[in-house]
Amino acid sequence: MTTLNAQDVSVHRWENRLLILLTEDTEDMLLKKQLEELSNCREGIEDRKLIVYRSTKDKFRKGLDSEGEWKNSSDIYKKYKGNKPGFQVVLIGLDGGIKIDQSEIISCEELFGTIDSMPMRKAEMRKNKER
């Protein structure tokens, strides 16, 4: 079994933003609704260098697709869940800092608005305009 500890999430630092979806149950209705929302805006997710992780108490999965295996590890969950019960959304910026930490579903509009207001994202957008 492949494992990933929370420290390994740091390999994305300065390369990708992370959206971590934390839940106690992979069948959680909020998790399913969040994944549906994100699936409708894949192009925006890719454009913003955003990688989605789903994590429960003892396993995690990278990506939005329903295919693929869950990997055994509780490290991501332990690092970002804290004492908050239920579903949780955590956005990690390129710098590794937590930008959003909430217990409600986040819309793509709100997510992208938050990311697009970040200084590094503004620089990316300027750079892309110059091309």
Q: What is the pLDDT of residue 128?
A: 84
Domain with 78 in it: what CATH number? Answer: 3.40.30.10
User: For each of the chain's 131 residues, which pLDDT tens digit applies?
Assistant: 344 555 467 788 899 999 999 999 999 999 999 999 999 999 999 999 999 999 999 999 999 988 878 999 988 999 999 888 899 999 999 999 999 999 999 999 999 999 999 999 999 989 988 87
In a domain, 6, yes or no: no
In a domain, 38, yes or no: yes
In a domain, 64, yes or no: yes
In a domain, 103, yes or no: yes
Q: Which domain holds residue 58?
A: 15-130
DSSP for the chain, written as a single string: -----GGGGGGGTTT-EEEEEE-S-TT-HHHHHHHHHHHTTHHHHHHTTEEEEEE-SSEEEESS-S-S--EE--HHHHHHHTT--S-EEEEE-TTS-EEEEESS---HHHHHHHHHTSHHHHHHHHHHHH-
In a domain, 45, yes or no: yes
Domain count across the chain: 1
In a domain, 3, yes or no: no
